[in-house]
Amino acid sequence: MKLYSILSIVFLFTQSARANPMETMIIHGTNVISQDWISHTVVALISKNHAGESLCTASLVAPDLAITAAHCVTSEDLSLSLLQLVFAKDIHSASVEQIRMIDRVEIPAEWNPAHSPEKDTSDVALIHFVGELPTGYAPSDLLPFDHEFNRGEKATLAGYGISNVSANSGAGVLRKTDVNVLNPNYSKAEIEFDQSKGGGACHGDSGGPAYLMINQHPYLFGITSRGAGNCDIDVIYTKISAYQDWFTEAVTRIRK
């Protein structure tokens, strides 16, 4: 039986913008450059609690909204005042002007952290941030909800997590990589990707996006939830389409 773990990571800052060796990113991926569309829609999510600062990833879905994993924004000692988005390809060199505070969060009522090893955990969250969208950033287009995935279909993953598992290094730099669908019907609300060929999502990539290219246009369809082994077996993504009704209602609630 596979043992799955969530893919966020906790690390401590020695200074306001530098992480210690307990850092993480997309493994065997490539750095996202300014000309890449991913750099305009994917952001880092940092939360603070008693253990230090946790790193996750989020994707813009509106000028004031981003989507991520529920486990990135829920803990017993976490408050909204300690959640922020960093609009930079490298969080270590980010300026104050590139940070936006999160003031509201919507999570499905079915989400329960205790159920994280199970299937269909509702591991998705909508977050509202304060301030204008920084220049150059824009929301992702969501994949049409009626798309049917096939085994072997290619998707692009992105995130700020570890690039090297054995060294546990690389946190805070936006990277991307391509993976293949392993099981499009892993569960009702989740999809499984193959990471056995050496690349994929790892710790710190939680909440990050999975994109499908259609006619050379990227569509956001998945949210990083959890993985097995040392990020070298598979990874499970929550399908946004499975939460279409919740998403529509959450957008209305979060803007009230």
pLDDT, tens digit (0-9, with 9 covering 90-100), for 197-209: 888 999 999 999 9
Q: How far apart are CA 178 and CA 247, in angstroms?
A: 26
- Cβ-contact 153, 143 below 8 angstroms: no
pLDDT above 60: residue 180: yes
Task: Look at residue 15 in the predicted model and tell me its pLDDT.
Answer: 29
Q: Tens of pLDDT along 99-149?
A: 999 999 999 999 987 765 679 999 999 999 999 999 999 999 999 877 899
Cα–Cα distance list, 167 to 10, 25, 67 (Å): 16, 12, 29
Helices (H), the chain: 244-254
Least reliable range by pLDDT among 74-88, 149-163, 210-224: 74-88
Q: 181 versus 51: which is more confidently predicted? A: 181
Looking at residue 25, its pLDDT comes to 41
Residue 48: predicted pLDDT: 82
Domains in the chain, CATH or no CATH each: 1-256 (2.40.10.10)
Give the residue among 53, 139, 133 at the shortest CA–CA distance from 97: 133
Collapsing DSSP to helix, strand or coil, 165 comes out as coil
pLDDT at 11 > cutoff 60: no
Which residue type is seen at 244?
Q
> Which amino acid makes up residue 242?
A
Q: What is the largest CA-CA distance in the chain?
A: 47
Residue range 66-83: average pLDDT? 83
Indicate the pTM of the whole model: 0.89
Q: Confidence band (pLDDT; 50, 70, 90) for 96? A: very high
- Note whether 42 and 33 are within 8 A (CB): no
Please report, rounded to a whole number, the percentage of residues in the chain having pLDDT higher than 90: 69
pLDDT value at residue 158: 97
The pLDDT score that the predictor gives to residue 144 is: 84
Q: What percent of the chain has pLDDT over 70?
A: 89
